[in-house]
Amino acid sequence: MALNLIMLGPPGAGKGTQAEAVAREHGIPRISTGDMLREAVQAGTPVGLAAKARMDAGSLVSDEVIIAIVRERLARPDTAAGFVLDGFPRTMGQAEALDRLMAGREPLLVLEMIVPTDVLVHRVRGRRICERCGGNATPADEATCAKCGGTLMQRRDDSEAVVRERLRVYERDTRPLVAYYRDRPTFRALDGDQPPAVVARAIRDAVASAREAARAAERES
């Protein structure tokens, strides 16, 4: 059974780190909105050019463009055994479009990572990324990226004021997705305010439980 997983949670919840670990464990791609945008822009695809034009103008990338990029990415052969989506969907329009894209595929599993706001702000203010590859630093990293050796730096948008604004945007635009997915048998919520290893075990258990629920629903249909 393919593992098609969505990681939901606010900025700083640890989605990226945990999504990468799940993808590595199951041998499937971790797909993030940021990665997809960078790939599309660098490749010069039509949707990439459209995204670049909006970003250069200082505008948000529209749902239409993001959905087109996701459609292209999910059509690649490496997603046949599944994928982990990190940062998509972010709006109701994106969630509804993803349901359409999933027609004929294994069901979506949805994990929500819950973390208190003050903890999120503290985490995000202290996190670093690689200026070369854009990867998130791990607690073991010191001054250089473990992946490529690039210099680690704080993101410009990780100041407290910007973080709190991003959290407000998450509550307004993305938090409603929890209600959209909550009644599905493959939805699970977990406490993300724990050590990474504890969260990883909780995710492993949640994925196993959600996959069993998906199989049960399939048998009943």
Q: Is 8 helix (H, G, I), strand (E, B) or coil?
A: strand
Residues annotated catalytic, as ranges: 15, 90, 127, 155, 166
Q: What is the 3-state secondary structure (H, E, C) of 119-181?
A: HHHHHHHHCCEECCCCCECCCCCCCECCCCCCEEECCCCCCHHHHHHHHHHHHHHHCHHHHHH
Q: Give the integer Cα–Cα distance in Å for 220 and 165.
A: 44
Helix axes 46-56 and 33-43, enclosed angle (nearest 10): 110
| 6-23 per-residue burial string, b: 16 or more CB within 10 A, e: under 16 | bbbbbbbbbbbbbbbbbb
CA 152 to chain centre: 21
Cβ atoms of 112 and 199 closer than 8 Å: no
Single out the residue of 148, 105, 135 nearest to residue 2, CA to CA: 105
